[in-house]
């Protein structure tokens, strides 16, 4: 009988441990404001696509980032002398200034609200970059992913900024000239560079 009780106790303890792994621990500060601490790192991912039209680019996405997460969207032109091959293989960097910038927010369904970016010139190649920057997040996202993004599990797209404790998440896609393949009517996947 004693062995049966010990076995039941161990099985129950094992099931409780499995159930509680990854759960939140909520503490209360003196002013009764909940302080949320995550147990373990968060696996984050974004599945983004760019739909290339003549005068615009539509971005749609599904993600595991928490609702309320804000992403910066930047459209950067490539230098005129960059070849199509250099752009396609990400072997040349775009210019530093943005042609267009915007933001996207994760909704309750885990989708990034669609954004439409005007395409300034159909005869210019561009890089679109989607970036999660922990410095521009609401408090509820910071509570989950950390003030420096340190609670994100290292995975494709997550990178640590040089000489910093800050982690960001980035994905990219290249937009070709209208006259080139994938320059119009294309559905393109965003990819991490690191």
CA quadruple 188, 190, 193, 194: dihedral, nearest 10: -140
pLDDT at 6: 66
pLDDT at 40: 72
Q: Which residue has the tokens 């910093």?
A: 164
DSSP string, 110-128: SEEEEEEEE-S-TTS-EEE
pLDDT at 7: 62
Tell me: pLDDT of 15 over 80: no
pLDDT band at 31 (very low <50, low <70, confident <90, very high): very low
Whose CA is closest to 175, among 83, 57, 46? 57
Q: In whole angstroms, what separates CA 138 from the centre of its chain?
A: 15
Rounded to the nearest integer, the mean pLDDT of the chain is: 85
Q: In whole angstroms, what separates CA 76 from the centre of its chain?
A: 18
At 55-82, the pLDDT tens digits run 999 999 999 999 999 999 999 999 999 9
Query: What is the C-alpha separation between 175 and 51, in angstroms, rounded?
Result: 10
169: alpha, beta or left? (left if phi > 0; alpha if psi -120 to 50): beta
pLDDT band at 17 (very low <50, low <70, confident <90, very high): low
Give start-end residues of each CATH 2.60.40 domain in the chain.
Answer: 46-189
Angle at 98 between CA 184 and CA 75, to 5 degrees: 30
At 42-54, the pLDDT tens digits run 999 999 999 999 9
Which pair of tokens denotes residue 107?
């909704």
What average pLDDT does the segment 77-91 reach?
94
What average pLDDT does the segment 31-42 reach?
54
At 141-150, the pLDDT tens digits run 999 999 999 9
Q: End-to-end CA distance of the chain, in Å?
A: 58
Q: Using CB atoms within 10 A of its CB, is residue 45 exposed (0-12), middle (13-18) or buried (19+)?
A: middle
CATH topology for 46-189 is Immunoglobulin-like (2.60.40)
For β-strands 167-175 and 158-160, DSSP reports them as antiparallel
């Amino acid at each position: 009988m004693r062995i049966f009780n010990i076995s039941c106790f161990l099985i129950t303890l094992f099931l409780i441990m499995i159930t509680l792994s990854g759960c939140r621990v909520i503490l209360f500060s003196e002013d009764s404001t909940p302080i949320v601490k995550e147990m373990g790192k968060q696996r984050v991912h974004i599945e983004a696509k760019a739909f290339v039209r003549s005068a615009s680019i539509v971005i749609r996405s599904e993600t595991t980032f928490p609702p309320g997460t804000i992403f910066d969207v930047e459209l950067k032109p490539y230098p005129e002398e960059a070849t199509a091959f250099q752009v396609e293989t990400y072997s040349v960097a775009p210019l530093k200034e943005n042609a267009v910038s915007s933001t996207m927010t994760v909704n309750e369904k885990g989708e990034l609200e669609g954004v439409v970016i005007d395409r300034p010139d159909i005869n210019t190649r561009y890089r679109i970059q989607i970036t999660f920057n922990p410095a521009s997040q609401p408090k509820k996202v910071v509570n989950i992913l950390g003030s420096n993004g340190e609670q994100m599990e290292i995975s494709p797209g997550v990178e640590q900024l040089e000489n910093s404790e800050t982690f960001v998440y980035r994905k990219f896609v290249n937009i070709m000239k209208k006259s080139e393949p994938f320059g119009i009517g294309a559905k393109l996947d965003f990819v991490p560079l690191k």
